[in-house]
Amino acid sequence: MVHLTTVPNDDVAQAPLVEGLENIKFEQPQEDEVTASVYGSRFASEGLPGHSLPDGEMPRDVAYRMIKDHLTLDGNPVLNLASFVTTYMEEEAEKLMAEALPKNFIDYEEYPQTADIQNKCVNMIARLYNAPTDANEDNAMGTSTVGSSEAIMLATLAMKRRWQNKRKAAGKDISKPNIVMNSAVQVCWEKAARYFEIEEKYVYCTESRYVIDPAEAVGMIDENTIGICTILGSTYTGQYEDTKAVNDLLIKKGIDCPIHVDAASGGFVAPFVVPEMEWDFRLEKVVSINVSGHKYGLVYPGVGWVVWRSPEFLPKELVFNINYLGADQASFTLNFSKGASQVLGQYYQFIRLGRSGYRSIMLNLTRTADYLAACLKQMGFVIMSEGGGKGLPLVAFRLNPEKNHHFDEFAVAHQLRERGWVVPAYTMAPNAGKLKLLRVVVREDFSRSRCDSLVQDIKQAVETLAKMKDGTAEQYME
């Protein structure tokens, strides 16, 4: 299943669901047989339109029910432990966001108070990440995005353009930019590099190391390097990369290379769980940071944020000035129109929870993740993630290879799916020995009670697979 949809040809679109069905004639309902109830209407006896816009109308209650019924086979978001995305917000937040659905966020002239709320959010995030705010410092800058993917694209563009400008001024070639990053980056980094024609220089994981090696990363830098990406919370194991070590090596070697921190997942965790850890603008080589509001920022998808240390790192030619919405305004986005709801949801969480509220939630999630890891370790699993707040509140684990199971992690994931849980099984990043892992993301609504239910189901899944005859479980294996 892919996000990019292929439009079928007419012969495929018009073909029956089951071969041979076209030869059977079915009686159609007569007008006097059609009632006002949803399931008594003719629409209940027809398939949902899927290829062409229907000619006629459908009553609103019928349309609602038909779509709602179609969605019943979707998984339960609460049980989707593969996703970092927020699945719970308070009713007041949902109401505020629903009331803002008609607002086009980009129209600052029409909705100046909404724009002001974005500015408030940027200010709060910049200070949370220790952006320079002294009177003699340049102002930090930032903007909202539809998620960290857009934020990363914008930050990558800024790094590339700044590198190009410096090279042009020196009369040097600008045709071969590259960026240094861990091979375990999220796919949006690969997209950014490919879309913007930047060579990817990977620090590959090993069988014992799943984060970037600072010395190796710095050693890859050359005159064409636009920047280094470090990750505050790996998608694979939740580990925090050592941004400070990269920063200190750059300073020690006298290398002028910026760092962008991908804090998509950890940007709203680390400041509250390990505030003493230096990864943000306290480090002089860190020039930009992205974070996802719809992950541990506790907002429904999709909202993200990107902040630059100062205007020096956001070239002016990338910012567009427009006036056709009624007033002069600056724009630096990949898209244009977007809803205002998520930005308002973010501001609600900021003022509703404050630092103490976020700290309480993130510490609870960390405790729950540590409890789950302890349970799984006692059950014989090998824990791949770090606990005690040293990484994201998630648990990455695998079967103990010494036990010679006749099933793998993918089979365990399949068994859990039968109970409704979505616990992803996946292979580690390249060069890591083809390790297979399972991962549970601990989100705000993953309580200790729900965790106990998951532990019981994992235990039952392993017992069920162990009782299967050799070869039976293989159909579920990768």
Threshold 0.95, pTM exceeds: no
106-133, pLDDT tens digit by residue?
A: 877 788 899 899 999 999 999 999 999 8
Asked if residue 10 has pLDDT above 90, the reply is no
Q: Single out the residue of 275, 31, 265, 297 nearest to residue 129, CA to CA.
A: 275
Would you say 101 and 339 are in contact if contact means Cβ atoms under 8 Å apart?
yes
Which of 86-90, 189-193, 321-325, 394-398 has the weakest average pLDDT? 321-325
> What percent of the chain stands above pLDDT 90?
74
Q: Single out the residue of 354, 303, 268, 309 nearest to residue 142, CA to CA.
A: 309
Asked if residue 310 has pLDDT above 70, the reply is yes
290-309, pLDDT tens digit by residue?
A: 999 999 999 999 999 999 99
- Write down the mean pLDDT value for the chain: 90
Determine how many CB atoms are found less than 10 A away from the CB of residue 302.
18
| E-state strands within 286-353 | 286-292, 304-308, 320-322, 329-331
Please, which pLDDT band fits residue 2 given cuts at 50, 70 and 90? very low
- Burial string for 120-143 (b: 16+ CB within 10 Å, else e) reads ebbebbbebbbbeeeeeeeebbbb
Please, which pLDDT band fits residue 314 given cuts at 50, 70 and 90? very high
396-407, pLDDT tens digit by residue?
A: 999 999 998 989
Amino acid 327: pLDDT:
53
> What percent of the chain stands above pLDDT 70?
90
Amino acid 449: pLDDT:
96
Please, which pLDDT band fits residue 136 given cuts at 50, 70 and 90? confident
Asked if residue 283 has pLDDT above 80, the reply is yes
Amino acid 325: pLDDT:
47
For the chain, give the number of residues.
Answer: 478
Give me the mean pLDDT over the 242-251 stretch. Answer: 98
Which amino acid, 439? R
